[in-house]
Amino acid sequence: MDFYLSEENCYNRLEAEFQKYGKLIFCVDYDDTLYDFHQVGRDYSDVMSLLKRWEPYSEVVIFTGCGIEKYAKMRKYLISHGIKFKGINCESAVEVDGRKVYANAYIDDRGGLPTIYRILNKLIGKIEKGEVICGTQIKK
């Protein structure tokens, strides 16, 4: 089996990156991940709640296919729901030469949302319990 088809290997990678850097970078889709694009009454409070729990330990970049003309509406929506984010379709704290924005995890309804939700929920639970700490938290 391919190495990262194992959910355990994906989890271990993110835990190791958190332990090394003390935070993770998330690229988060907007439509149908945080916002009810089709206006059919769908709820995205679980994903929003997870992002809020991660707030002290993460950087969020909204990564969307929406055009710039929708950014003001998106900002207003995200702020009204208490979602803190660096920007929309901007570079993360780790810049790369290519077109892909660097992130430790991509959170997207079309890209394995149930799996990354489980993994990030498990990891933040361990961080909150003090079972996983980063190197900068270790007292010498």
pTM, two decimal places: 0.92
Identify the pLDDT of residue 98.
Answer: 84
Model pLDDT for residues 5-44, shown as the tens digit of each residue: 999 999 999 999 999 999 999 999 999 999 999 999 999 9
Model pLDDT for residues 37-64, shown as the tens digit of each residue: 999 999 999 999 999 999 999 999 999 9
Model pLDDT for residues 85-96, shown as the tens digit of each residue: 999 999 999 988
The residue written with tokens 């702020």 in the block is 79
> Element (H or E) spanning 79, and its range?
helix 71-80
Task: Decide if pLDDT at 137 tops 80.
Answer: no
Amino acid at 114: P
- Work out the percent of the chain whose per-residue pLDDT is above 90: 90
Q: What is the spatial distance between Cα 137 and Cα 133, in angstroms, rounded to a whole number? A: 6
Three-state SS at 47:
helix
Q: How confident is the model at residue 139 (pLDDT cuts 50, 70, 90)?
A: very low
